[in-house]
């Protein structure tokens, strides 16, 4: 694909007019000084002396200047001089007493050049500035004109071999690709469908978490079909000017119809397509509502000749969209673009790994296994980070160690070796992280503990315990969730067992454990006391996992019961962690001393320690 940018004629015209106007203005201001004959200026005191001596023949008194003509020794009229007037009420009396002819200067008269310039320069400057700003606000869809503020800002991609994107460049979303292949087939040979009376969907909505490749999929559809591709974000429709968004929608579809068959891609559709019943609109004259109404009208207005204009849109918040957008005849089909599974991550890594130089022996499958939950954009960033690390270390190929370090940088943040801890703090961090590791190793439902480090990382992590999933998980039972809570509280429990006190280092662990326990009670219905009820207003397809679902309106007694259940679950995990660490106190001391000496422990050495963990029925305290 390549972007087609039309030349900006209005900007050129505006610049020319501004230049011409500036030249005329400069000539008008400085022409008298450049071409006129200068008049010598004298101090006012010298002028008065010449008046008293009778050497002045005539005087012209103006508001800003006094001009006077002196006498020659022969009594004839001599040279003219000028001076700056001051507030002198005695001047007329002095001139009259000496018999000097004087008069007030007439107001200045502008010449024909000045008159012309005074009429020409302001309009030239105004028109030049107007054309300049209109040229800047003109969209890519056509030349800027008097109403270019209403032009569409969509970027137009046309087919080009150098940057063409196809389905071969997209991996990990095989089901979505299968759905979109039908769109490609229709764009290539629409008669196959129309001859039997079938109608292709006018709109296809791509939904999924951020970074999963929705925009890339849309470009691949255009690349496979070999048609024009209009790309615009939903936020680019709405402007300060009322009606500009609706006008841009009209202009976008007019351009698309001229280039049919083509694809119109609207990213972040929720920017203009939010439900009108959700309180996001202020009334019938709201700019976003007008834009949405115009979009609905344009999608309904395709005639038979415009059937090859297909609208693709992407959003990660489909639950916020207006129902009118999702009804049949508009966005008929919704395609889920989810995070990839193990095989999908492996294919994505293979695509991006082909763009860098890999060292022999790099195991992409192992990397795919360790990156559960990563989206396509995360994996692309991972490969790039590994390549940067290899280049930083003066290597010509990317090794497995670079990928391992890149995973830690993405998950835990950058190492901060400059953050020096005191011996006491370092000791507390060591026992804290070993506590996480030992409890995590005792929990069958947790991931594999792959590394312990007391080197500070990220914004606030003074150390970290890295747990890697051994397989993709889509469902978790209540026992596994309680295991996770116990593992999160292992660090705090270790501080209590060893030091008999607690620190602020467990703040993030407590927050995550509490949130997980609350979801168990209010969302998953895993409380025996409250029963299989949902106490949160669930929002379907909330891919962000941002905790935006508010709790339902419940009675005070129910709220107290929820809080009590959450506390019991967290306290159960806390006691479970204390029990495991107390039973393995010697191993806790041994492993903590080991990590204090070398700061990092991983691989087989770490597994030899974790294999000695002893525990008895870790779920006996489950509520």
Looking at 385, 411, 437, the residue that finishes a domain is 411
Lowest mean pLDDT among 244-258, 276-290, 421-435: 276-290
Considering only CA atoms, which of 68, 217, 251, 230 is closest in space to residue 145?
A: 251
In this predicted model, which residue has the larger pLDDT, 470 or 346? 346
Active-site position among 179, 268, 385, 433: 433
Q: What is the pLDDT of residue 242?
A: 61
* Cβ neighbours, 10 Å, residue 312: 28
* Residue 188 and residue 318 share a domain: yes
Compute the average pLDDT of residues 78-97.
80
Confidence of residue 229 (pLDDT cuts 50, 70, 90): confident
Pairing of strands 66-71, 101-104: unpaired
Compute the average pLDDT of residues 126-130.
70
CATH at residue 229:
3.40.50.300
Q: What is the pLDDT of residue 435?
A: 93
**Distance (Å, whole) CA 434 – CA 590:** 10
Phi and psi angles of residue 71, each rounded to the nearest 5 degrees, phi first: -95, 145
Q: What is the pLDDT of residue 621?
A: 39
CATH at residue 18:
3.30.720.210
Tens digit of each residue's pLDDT (9 = 90 or more) over 403-447: 988 988 888 777 776 677 888 889 999 999 999 999 988 887 666
Pairing of strands 331-336, 203-207: parallel
Answer yes or no: is 620 within a domain: no
Q: What is the pLDDT of residue 14?
A: 59
Answer yes or no: is 615 within a domain: no
Whether the per-residue pLDDT at 326 is higher than 90: the answer is: no
Tens digit of each residue's pLDDT (9 = 90 or more) over 554-590: 888 888 999 999 999 999 999 999 999 999 999 999 9
CATH at residue 378:
1.10.8.60
Q: What is the pLDDT of residue 123?
A: 72
Answer yes or no: is 623 within a domain: no
Local structure of residue 137 (DSSP, 8 states): H
Tens digit of each residue's pLDDT (9 = 90 or more) over 520-548: 999 888 988 888 888 876 544 454 444 44
* Residue 164 and residue 131 share a domain: no
* Residue 478 and residue 398 share a domain: no
Number of domains in the chain: 4
Confirm if 622 and 445 have CB atoms less than 8 A apart: no
**Distance (Å, whole) CA 234 – CA 320:** 14
Residue 228 belongs to what domain range? 150-336
**Distance (Å, whole) CA 100 – CA 340:** 103
Compute the average pLDDT of residues 68-94.
79
* Residue 299 and residue 367 share a domain: no
**Distance (Å, whole) CA 511 – CA 527:** 20
In this predicted model, which residue has the larger pLDDT, 15 or 402? 402
CATH at residue 504:
1.20.58.760
Bridge partners of 117?
Answer: none
Pairing of strands 309-315, 203-207: parallel
Identity of the highest mean pLDDT range in 5-9, 265-269, 306-310: 265-269
Q: What is the pLDDT of residue 460?
A: 62
Looking at 78, 110, 137, the residue that finishes a domain is 137
Q: What is the pLDDT of residue 239?
A: 65
Whether the per-residue pLDDT at 110 is higher than 60: the answer is: no
Say what percent of the chain tops pLDDT 70.
77
Tens digit of each residue's pLDDT (9 = 90 or more) over 181-196: 888 888 888 788 878 8
433 part of the active site: yes
* Residue 305 and residue 161 share a domain: yes
* Cβ neighbours, 10 Å, residue 512: 14
């Amino acid at each position: 694909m390549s972007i087609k940018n039309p030349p900006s004629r209005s900007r050129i015209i505006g610049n020319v007019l501004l230049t011409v106007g500036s030249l005329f203005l400069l000539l008008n201001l400085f022409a008298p000084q450049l071409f006129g004959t200068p008049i010598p200026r004298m101090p006012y005191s010298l002028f008065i002396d010449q008046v008293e001596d009778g050497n002045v023949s005539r005087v012209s008194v103006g508001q800003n200047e006094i001009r006077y003509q002196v006498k020659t020794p022969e009594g004839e009229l001599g040279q003219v001089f000028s001076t700056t007037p001051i507030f002198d009420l005695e001047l007329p009396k002095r001139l009259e007493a000496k018999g000097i002819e004087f008069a007030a200067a007439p107001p200045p008269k502008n010449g024909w050049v000045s008159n012309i310039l005074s009429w020409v320069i302001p309009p030239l400057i105004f028109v030049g500035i107007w054309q300049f700003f209109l040229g800047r606000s003109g969209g890519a869809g056509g030349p800027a004109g008097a109403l270019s503020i209403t032009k569409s800002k969509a970027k137009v991609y046309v087919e080009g071999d150098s940057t063409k994107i196809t389905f071969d460049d997209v991996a990990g979303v095989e089901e979505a690709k299968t759905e979109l292949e039908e769109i490609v087939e229709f764009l290539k040979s629409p008669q196959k469908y129309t001859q039997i009376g079938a109608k292709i969907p006018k709109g296809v909505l791509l939904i999924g978490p951020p970074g999963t490749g929705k925009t890339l999929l849309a470009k691949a559809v255009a690349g496979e079909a070999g048609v024009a591709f209009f790309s615009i974000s939903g936020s680019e429709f709405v402007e300060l000017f009322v009606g500009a968004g609706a006008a841009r929608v009209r202009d976008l579809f007019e351009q698309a119809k001229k280039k049919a068959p083509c694809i119109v891609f609207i990213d972040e559709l929720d920017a203009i397509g939010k439900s009108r019943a959700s309180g996001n609109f202020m009334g019938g004259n709201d700019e976003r509502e007008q834009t949405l109404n115009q979009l609905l009208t344009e999608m309904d207005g395709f005639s038979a000749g415009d059937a090859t204009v297909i609208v693709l849109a992407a959003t990660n918040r489909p639950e916020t969209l207006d129902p009118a957008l999702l009804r049949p005849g508009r966005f008929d089909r919704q395609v889920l673009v989810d995070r990839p599974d193990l095989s999908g991550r492996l294919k994505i890594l293979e695509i991006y790994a082909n763009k860098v130089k890999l060292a022999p022996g790099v195991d992409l499958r192992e990397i795919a296994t360790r990156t559960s939950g990563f989206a396509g954009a995360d994996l692309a960033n991972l490969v790039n980070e590994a390549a940067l690390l290899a280049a930083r270390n003066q290597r010509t190929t990317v090794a497995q160690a670079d990928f391992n370090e890149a995973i830690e940088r993405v998950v835990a943040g950058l190492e901060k070796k400059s953050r020096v801890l005191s011996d006491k703090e370092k000791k507390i961090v060591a026992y804290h992280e070993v506590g996480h590791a030992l409890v995590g190793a005792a929990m069958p439902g947790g991931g594999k503990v792959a590394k312990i480090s007391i080197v500070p990382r990220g914004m606030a992590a003074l150390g970290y315990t890295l747990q890697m999933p051994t397989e993709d998980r889509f469902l978790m039972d209540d026992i596994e969730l309680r295991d996770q809570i116990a593992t999160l509280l292992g660090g705090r429990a270790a501080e209590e067992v060893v030091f008999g006190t607690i620190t602020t280092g467990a703040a993030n662990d407590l927050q995550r454990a509490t949130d997980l326990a609350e979801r168990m009670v209010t969302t998953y219905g895993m409380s025996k006391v409250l029963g299989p009820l949902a106490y949160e207003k669930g929002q379907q397809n909330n891919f962000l996992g941002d905790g935006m679902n508010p709790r339902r309106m419940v009675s005070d007694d129910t709220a107290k019961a929820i809080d009590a259940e959450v506390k019991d679950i967290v306290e159960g995990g806390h006691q479970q962690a204390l029990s495991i660490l107390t039973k393995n106190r010697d191993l806790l001391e041994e492993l903590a001393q080991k990590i204090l000496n070398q700061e990092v422990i991983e691989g087989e050495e770490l597994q030899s320690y974790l294999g000695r963990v002893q525990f008895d029925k870790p779920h006996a305290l489950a509520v």
